[in-house]
Structure 1
């Protein structure tokens, strides 16, 4: 059965192309020596959505069930913050909780801000504004291009800015927005603004099993061919 919560209307040509590329179990395409980005290579899915929408769960399922690699564009930020907390004197268990766990939105007394706010300002105010708008993106693409050139699959679980969207589009990526009832921006920070309209939308309004089934449907050629849903 098709999933009524997925996507927007696609032309017959788009559906046929997506059906071939994103079929469950389909082998990754071998790269051509003369291929441009997004042609004849592996595939990329870029996830958008507000914090708490379920992007991490989608990325986890794509990795564990469908063999995607999950290099996170924000991984250097997490490592930088972890090293700072380590230098302050926090134990490893607490660092994990602050950086990407249940204390992520709790105040870090020594910094006067939360882990989320620290990563946002490291990423945007320092990295993008002081070093360069493409700083983090260039680091991430260096890893991703090697994967897709070898026919691998990549999911980026946190697409936040227009230049990231542009680079993903150039590589033939599928942009998916994860929506969850009652979840919206947690602040007015620029990284909290969705950077583009997605190709498909996943509605995360049920259980984790429901969300995983919706992800499987996105990768199913049958679902893509039978889902003319608009958003």
Structure 2
């Protein structure tokens, strides 16, 4: 199994890009923030739609005084990442892959790739690359930056393997990404589970 991380501003097309990749290889779409979304839904009574809908993510919830995006940013970064360490979400993602690849799993995962659609921090990009994966940065010309939160800051260029520009049709985007990553998909390294020491 190979790892792909997708980085880019909010609303740049990260989920769309993951979907296009997964049209051509077997795999699974994940996010470093998946456990965070589940926690936010439980703690703040948010719905999955509020977590994923472009407009609802930005709408302030009067009861809490924050939008779902702000809840995720504050909970994920200031409340968890800054307290438990910058690699907290990487460690959680690795646990998820360990579970996915467990020898005794009922249905062993045999997909070609796992695509993480929210590669926001350098630690996440480094982990993907150190695991033999690649980081794809997607840009959308004319897209304004969303909020000045640290989680929306761009990754250092040295951690980006491929850049795709989302300035045309879905077919244009599909062609770009497949043209760029096809060779890597054929030859790239496979992720190996490192067992935790109890």
Distance 1:152 1:125 in 2: 34
Q: Structure 2 unaligned runs (5+)?
A: 103-109, 187-198
Aligned residue in 2 for 1:156: 116
Residues 145 and 153 (structure 1 numbering): CA distance in 2 closer, same or farther, change over 3 Å? farther
Residues 148 and 62 (structure 1 numbering): CA distance in 2 closer, same or farther, change over 3 Å? farther
- Does residue 100 in structure 1 map to residue 52 in structure 2? yes
Distance 1:144 1:127 in 2: 20
**Secondary structure, aligned partner of 1:107:** coil
Residues 51 and 103 (structure 1 numbering): CA distance in 2 closer, same or farther, change over 3 Å? same
Q: Which sits farther off after the overlay, 207-216 or 127-136?
A: 207-216
TM-score (norm 1): 0.68
Which protein shows a greater Rg? Answer: 1
**Greater RCO (CA < 8 Å, at least 6 residues apart):** 1
Give the drift of 1:146. 5.8
- Does residue 204 in structure 1 map to residue 186 in structure 2? no
Distance 2:138 2:97 in 1: 22
Aligned residue in 1 for 2:90: 137
TM-score (norm 2): 0.79
Give the count of matched residue pairs: 175
**Secondary structure, aligned partner of 1:108:** coil
Q: Structure 1 unaligned runs (5+)?
A: 1-41, 225-231
Where in structure 2 are the equivalents of 1:93-132 lying within 5 Å?
A: 95-101=47-53, 102-132=55-85
**Secondary structure, aligned partner of 1:113:** coil
